Amino acid sequence: MKILVPIKRVVDANIKVRVAADNAGVDLNNVKMSMNPFCEIAVEEAVRLKEQGLATEIIAVTIGEEKSQEQLRTAMALGADRSIWIEQSGPVEPLAIAKLLQAVVKKEAPDLVILGKQSIDGDNNQVGQMLAALCDMPQGTFAFKLAIEDGRAIVSREVDGGEQVVSLALPAVVTTDLRLNEPRYAKLPDIMKAKKKPIEHIRPDALGVAVKSSLKTLSVSEPEGRSAGVLVSSARELVEKLRNEARVIP
C-alpha cells in the first residue's frame, strides 16, 4: 500500500499572530514556521501503518515556497520515504491545492491519501474533501482511529454529536483529528538520513494545472479585543457580581 501525505508549512501553533499595519494580512516577518500540526499527525499515522507492515511507501508532498522543503525534510525525518515539492509562492486557495494534489494522485496512484483536517493558518478545512471529490474517492474526515481491513479503510470520525464509523473502499482520502495519534519527535540520526532522501521538484504548469483564484482578500483586521476584567476574592463575591453586576444568573 502506497500512502500520499500532503503537508503544509504554517505559522507555528504556539505563536499568536498580529495583523499587519496595512491590514493586508498578518505579519509573518521573522515568525517561526512549522509543519501544520494536523499534517504531523497525518505523517505519523502513515509511518505507523508502515511499521505495521500495511504500507510500503510514504510520499510527502507540499505546495509552497522554497522554504517549505524544510517541512518535507521533517516529514522524511519522521519516516516518509521521499517527497514532492510543487513550487508555488504566495497563498494558494484550497481548490487549486486540491487540483495540484489530484495531479499528483494521478501520477503516483496512492491507495490512501492522509491529510490534516485543517490548516491552522487559513482554518479552511477543505482540501481533503475537495481532493476526494476531484478523484472520485470516498472520504473519512476528522479521523481519530484508522484501520485497514479487507481492502477497506475503517475510519472512526469525530462528529459534533459524538463518534461515527465509516468503511471506505480504497483508494480513499482520510483527514486527521488531534486524537488520532501523538506524533513522535525526529531523532538526530533520522534527521541526518532525511537529508539524503529525494525531493522531486515540480512546477504547477508541468502538472497541467492552472492555479486560479476566486477569492480576493479585501482586508484583514484585528478582532475586537477583550481586556482583563476584575479579580474577585471569593466564590461569594463572584456570585454576587454575576447576579447584580453582569446579571447573567438569576
Partner 1 sequence: MTVLVIAEHNNLSLNPVTGSVIRAAGLIDAEIHVLVAGTGCESVAEAARQYEGVSKVLLADNAVYQHHLPETLAPLLLPISENYGAILSAASTSGKNLMPRIAALLDVGQISDIVAVHSPNTFVRPIYAGNALATVESSDPVKIITVRTSAFDEADKGEGWAAIETLDQVIHQDKSRFVSENLTTSERPELAGAAIVVSGGRGLGSAENFQLLEKLADKLGAAIGASRAAVDAGYVGNDLQVGQTGKIVAPDLYIAVGISGAIQHLAGMKDSKIIVAINTDADAPIFQVADYGLVADLFQVLPELEALL
Ligand X SMILES: Cc1cc2nc3c(=O)[nH]c(=O)nc-3n(C[C@H](O)[C@H](O)[C@H](O)COP(=O)(O)OP(=O)(O)OC[C@H]3O[C@@H](n4cnc5c(N)ncnc54)[C@H](O)[C@@H]3O)c2cc1C
Ligand Y SMILES: Nc1ncnc2c1ncn2[C@@H]1O[C@H](COP(=O)(O)O)[C@@H](O)[C@H]1O
The residues binding ligand Y (CB under 6 A) are: 6-8, 36, 38-39, 42, 61-64, 92, 94, 97, 115-116, 118-119, 122, 124-128
What distance in Å separates the CA atoms of residue 67 and residue 24, rounded to the nearest whole number? 22
Q: Which is nearer to ligand X, 19 or 178 (CB)?
A: 178
Q: Taking CB under 6 A as the rule, does residue 37 contact ligand X?
A: yes
Residues 227-246 interacting with partner 1 (rule: CB under 8 A): 227-236, 238-239, 241-242, 246
Count of all residues that appear for the chain in the document: 250
Contacts of 208 (CB under 8 A, 6+ apart): 103
Instruction: Give the residue carrying C-alpha cell 487540483.
Output: 99
Give the CA dihedral 11, 12, 16, 17, nearest 10 degrees. Answer: -10
Single out the residue of 19, 54, 120, 133 in contact with ligand X (rule: CB under 6 A). 120
Q: Rank residues 46 and 63 by Cβ distance to ligand Y and give the closer one.
A: 63
Question: Restricting to residues 62-101, which ones interact with partner 1 according to CB under 8 A?
Answer: 93-95, 98
Q: CB 31 → partner 1: shortest distance, Å?
A: 11
Q: What span, in angstroms and rounded, lies between the C-alpha atoms of 17 and 63?
A: 22
**Residue 169 touching partner 1 (CB under 8 A):** yes
Cα–Cα nearest to 173, from 192, 155, 185, 187: 155
Q: Which does 64 bind (CB under 5 to 8 A by kind): ligand Y, partner 1, ligand X, none?
A: ligand Y
Unique residue bearing C-alpha cell 480504497: 170
Q: Does 178 bind partner 1 (CB under 8 A)?
A: yes
**Containing H/E element for 14?**
none
Would you give the binding string for ligand X spanning residues 162-201, x where CB under 6 A is met? ----------------x-----------------------
Residues 49/41, Cβ–Cβ less than 8 Å = no
Binding site for ligand X (CB under 6 A): 13, 37, 120, 178
